[in-house]
């Protein structure tokens, strides 16, 4: 991570990470955490790659209902003795396994997480934690009533320069904030899927709690964009950023949302390829999310606009601009007073936080309550999309109401 101007502000999180790594290493082989991985698609294998870099854990079991992915994950572990299963309950029944990583489609998150908690396992589950608001509320109730550590994959909460952004807002550097803009732009297409060897896929088990339906390759490969399995880009992408909005602004639920979206380019999907949502919050501010799958320039990020300054943060950098600073020559933007570039991936520090909390039994950075709150706001935005009108969140009744 390279920094300019007042870089002392970043020293705390960075040094803390170094201390955590040292502490974990010092515990040595006598306190190794044995991990099973359930659902071994691309994201889960990415998590596995990071876990291999972290000390004090051993991946000892992998689970997937599609054999080619199962074998890929076993090869990634690189241990001949790794257990390979299609039924995740076999991993949960193994008393030698301490924790599980869940990388399944969203519609499986709640059931597998709660089954793992009931089996006494600690959990790292990808976001969004739930496929509905009711699922998330149930997860909070059960997990908070247990002794298990559950971390969710909103890794910004463990990423140094995102922590710095929270410090700047808490210090009042932006003054009153009235608007947070979030965005995510990616390029995606539908069709031309790799052939699926059906005799190596347990389609019924993949469907699980979803409605029974015939196999369709677009639903298998791009499940995030079909309502039976995911929630489109609002739950898949916006959940990351709305979690940062909740965290920075110290709120846990919106007042209302209105969403517009269409499938302008990818007609096979149910969820829109282009979407715009505006969400009103308590504390007198609103947030917007803009997203499309037809352009990848700028990727994703957030902007917080306040009376004293503007904060721009994404996965590559953080920039803070004073509102009273003169514009740089030839531009309509001042030079940033604080600029920090990230050179790493917050996922690895997030996984380290999970492992540390398994040992200390302290609450992880992205615990189940904040995870549910972030997913809930995304579900509310999707409710507005489906209703075709503005919706309100009734916090007392814990339900969405149309205006």
Between strands 285-292 and 57-63, the pairing is unpaired
Q: What's the pLDDT at 5?
A: 36
Mean pLDDT of the chain: 93
Average pLDDT over residues 245-267: 98
| Beta carbons within 8 Å of 194's beta carbon, 6+ residues apart | 221
Query: What CA–CA distance (Å, rounded) separates 153 from 191?
Result: 28
The span from the CA of 262 to the CA of 292, in Å, is 10
- Residue 228 pLDDT exceeds 90: yes
The two counts, helices (H) then strands (E), for the chain are 13, 17
d(CA 42, CA 352): 20
pLDDT value of position 15: 30
Instruction: Say what the pLDDT of residue 31 is.
Output: 85
3-state secondary structure of 125: strand
Q: Could you read off the pLDDT of 347-392 as tens digits, one per residue?
A: 999 999 999 999 999 999 999 999 999 999 999 999 999 999 999 9
Average pLDDT over residues 280-305: 98
Does residue 149 surpass a pLDDT of 90?
yes
What's the pLDDT score for residue 30?
A: 57
pLDDT digits (tens, 9 = 90+) for 61-114: 999 999 999 999 999 999 999 999 999 999 999 999 999 999 999 999 999 999
Q: How far apart are CA 380 and CA 369, in angstroms?
A: 16
Residue 396, both tokens: 């007392």
List pLDDT tens digits, range 30-67. 589 999 999 999 999 999 999 999 999 999 999 999 99
DSSP letter assigned to residue 295: -
Where residue 361 falls (left for φ over 0; alpha for ψ -120 to 50; beta otherwise) is left
pLDDT at 196 over 80: yes
Largest alpha-carbon pair distance within the chain? 66
What are the CA-CA distances from residue 135 to residues 106, 310, 384 (Å)? 11, 36, 19
Q: What is the pTM of this model?
A: 0.93
Pairwise CA distance, residues 113 & 139, whole Å: 8
Q: Phi and psi dihedrals of 111, rounded to 5? A: -65, -45
CA-to-CA separations, 27 to 123, 144, 349, 400, in angstroms, rounded: 21, 27, 18, 47
**Predicted confidence (pLDDT) at residue 12 exceeds the cutoff of 50:** no
pLDDT average, residue stretch 18-40? 63
> Residue 343 pLDDT more than 90?
no
What is the Cβ-side half-sphere exposure of residue 117, based on CA atoms within 13 angstroms? Answer: 23
From first CA to last CA, the distance across the chain in angstroms is: 46
Residue-wise pLDDT for 267-285, tens only, equals: 999 999 999 999 999 999 9
- Domains for the chain: give ranges and CATH numbers: 2-156 (3.40.50.720), 162-344+368-402 (3.30.360.10)
């Amino acid at each position: 991570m390279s920094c300019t101007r007042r870089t002392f502000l970043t020293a705390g999180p960075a040094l803390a990470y170094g201390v955590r790594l040292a502490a974990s290493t010092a515990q040595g082989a006598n306190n190794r955490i044995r991990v099973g991985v359930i659902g071994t698609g691309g994201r889960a294998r990415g998590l596995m790659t990071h876990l291999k870099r972290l000390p004090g854990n051993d991946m000892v079991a992998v689970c997937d209902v599609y054999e080619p992915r199962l074998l890929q994950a076993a090869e990634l572990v690189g241990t001949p003795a790794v257990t390979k299963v299609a039924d995740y309950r076999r991993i949960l029944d193994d008393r030698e396994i301490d924790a599980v990583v869940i990388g399944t489609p969203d519609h499986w998150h709640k059931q597998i997480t709660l089954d793992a908690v009931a089996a006494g396992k600690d959990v790292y589950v990808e976001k969004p934690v739930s496929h509905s608001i009711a699922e998330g509320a149930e997860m909070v109730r059960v997990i908070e009533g247990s002794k298990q550590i559950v971390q969710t994959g909103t890794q910004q909460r463990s990423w140094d320069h995102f922590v710095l952004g929270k410090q700047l807002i808490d210090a009042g550097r932006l003054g009153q904030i009235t608007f947070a803009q979030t965005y995510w732009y990616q390029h995606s297409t539908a069709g031309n899927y790799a052939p699926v060897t059906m005799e190596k896929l347990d389609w019924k088990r993949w469907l699980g709690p979803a409605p029974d339906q015939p196999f369709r390759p677009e639903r298998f490969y791009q499940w995030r964009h079909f309502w039976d399995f995911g929630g489109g880009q609002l739950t898949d992408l916006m959940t990351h950023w709305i979690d940062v909005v909740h965290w920075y602004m110290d709120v846990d639920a919106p007042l209302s949302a209105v969403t517009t979206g269409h499938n302008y380019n990818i007609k096979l999907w149910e969820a829109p390829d282009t979407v715009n949502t505006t969400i009103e919050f308590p504390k007198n501010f609103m947030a917007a999310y803009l997203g499309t799958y037809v352009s990848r320039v700028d990727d994703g990020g957030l902007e917080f606009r306040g009376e004293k300054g503007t904060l721009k943060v994404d996965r590559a950098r953080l920039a803070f601009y004073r509102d009273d600073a003169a514009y740089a020559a030839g531009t309509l933007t001042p030079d940033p007073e604080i600029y920090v570039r990230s050179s790493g991936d917050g996922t690895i520090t997030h996984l380290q936080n999970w492992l540390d909390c398994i040992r200390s039994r302290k609450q992880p950075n992205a615990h189940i309550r904040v995870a549910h709150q972030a997913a809930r706001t995304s579900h509310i935005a999707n409710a507005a999309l489906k209703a075709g009108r503005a919706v309100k969140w009734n916090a007392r009744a814990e339900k969405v109401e149309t205006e």
